[in-house]
Amino acid sequence: MSNPAKSAIGFPTYVPQSAFGANDRIVYGHIGVGGMGSSHIVGDSCAALCDVDATHLANAAKRVQGKPMLTDDYRRVLDRKDIDAVTIGTPDHWHAIMAVHACMAGKDVYSEKPVCKTIEEGLAMVNAARRYKRIMQIGAQGRSNPKVAAAANYLRNGKAGDIKKVVIWHPENLSSGSGFETPSNPPAHMNWDMWLGPIPYRPYTAETCHFHFRWMMDSGAGFIRDRGNHAISCVMLLTGQDAWSSPVTVKATGKPNPNRVYDAPQTLNVTWKFRNPEWTLEWNQPGEANERLEGEWGATYYGTKDDLILTGGDGGADTEPKAIDYVPPTGGFKHEVEPDNVDVTEKHRRNWRKCIKTRELPVSDIGIQYKTIILPIIANIAYMVGRELTFDPKTNRFINDEEANRFLSDPYREPWSLKGY
């Protein structure tokens, strides 16, 4: 396997066109328009819609003014010179390759979480965004959530003292289906080969397609990489550890999924131990909510003077009154979000659109979110190899463990490549 920290990623030279037309209007292409992807559609400024499921395309087209291009091949969207920016709402295994190719084509990017599957993919996304000077926002919208901001302001101004431990709780991965569903021909309205794209071929079953791809390691890798992207993004914001740079140890144990088709575990317990400063992060799946503020998922932050609960961490979140009522001191830390009552996800998109015009880094920039997604990725690797590992974020490799380093990238099914748009 190539060393993802040192390998050169081959990008062709690209000279971007001007960002907008004469009317300063951003023209969008939307890739993956079922589920969460459908929420990103800008009906009066959409030039193209892309989805491998024709029913998703037909439903999305009803919400768009005019006659946008409809396609099941994202490359046709990127080829359009009139498109300034794209949203990516596909299954996880497509996020990285589409985002990299969009940067190479001169498009700004809003990509859903999780950021990517592998360390190699995450590095490629950061490199592409920086090389092509593209704005890339990741849909970890907790950073646009007022309740998350309130919790961050409380903790970052020292009200709980030094944070020594954070414990995340979350329900188990699902185990729906029998595990014995007979493969069948894909529905006539679906391009199954394009749905699979870069991951290894597998026959179509409903148990491994829409939503349920989440329980397959090559396409979803369980809730830890899905909601874990949200939860850990909030942890790093609230603890001030977005730029963590010292080696971290990780240990993970879990129970296999009873559905024999799914290779993501049903339960998963992870401990990461950080240095400089020393603190511990736990992912308990399942875990128990803190009785002071219950939620389906969330985290308790334990400091030397106090503790604080934050439930959720995406569009929905809540925290304790002591944080909501806290007013940061003049000159203190202050994480600000737009004060209006707009839906949190729309706030997050507005931040991206603003940054497309100002060229500032967005609140959930790919650089921040790459450092976030490292932690779920290495947790799954620790689970798969069955031992404690130490990961060095400066080299983007495990220390003294070449077997584990083999999992830092996944081979793509031909003809897909991060290098070849």
Q: Model confidence at 23, in pLDDT bands (50, 70, 90)? A: low
Using an 8 Å Cβ cutoff, are 162 and 280 in contact? no
**How large a percentage of the chain has pLDDT more than 70?**
93
Provide the 3-class DSSP secondary structure of residue 346: helix
Residue-wise pLDDT tens digits, 28-52: 999 999 999 999 999 999 999 999 9
d(Cα 190, Cα 186) in Å, to the nearest integer? Answer: 6
Using an 8 Å Cβ cutoff, are 112 and 86 in contact? no
Residue with tokens 């990961």, as numbered in its chain: 391
pTM of the shown model: 0.93
* Omega prior to 258 cis, within 30 of 0: no
pLDDT of 14 > 60? The answer is no
Residue-wise pLDDT tens digits, 112-125: 999 999 999 999 99
Dihedrals φ, ψ of 364, to 5°? -120, 50
Q: Model confidence at 12, in pLDDT bands (50, 70, 90)? A: very low
Residue-wise DSSP of 72-110: S-HHHHHT-TT--EEEE-S-GGGHHHHHHHHHHTT-EEE
> Which of 176 and 299 is assigned the larger pLDDT?
299
* Proportion of the chain in helix, strand, coil states, percent, rounded to 5: 30, 20, 50
Provide the 3-class DSSP secondary structure of residue 17: coil
pLDDT of 220 > 80? The answer is yes
pLDDT at 421: 63
Q: Hey, what long-range contacts does 71-79 have (CB within 8 A, 24 or more apart)?
A: 72/191, 72/194, 73/194, 74/31, 74/50, 74/98, 74/101, 75/101, 75/421, 76/48, 76/50, 77/29, 77/31, 77/48, 77/50, 78/29, 78/102, 78/105, 78/107, 78/421, 79/105
pLDDT of 313 > 60? The answer is yes
Angle, helices 223-239 vs 146-156, to 10°: value is 50
d(Cα 237, Cα 239) in Å, to the nearest integer? Answer: 6
Rg over CA atoms, the chain: 21
Using an 8 Å Cβ cutoff, are 86 and 109 in contact? yes
Q: Which residues pair with 157 in a beta bridge?
A: none
Mean pLDDT across the stretch 250-278? 95
Which residue from 95, 173, 91 is spatially nearest to 138, judged by alpha carbons? 95
Let me know if 243 is exposed, middle or buried by CB neighbors in 10 A (0-12, 13-18, 19+): exposed
DSSP code, position 228? H
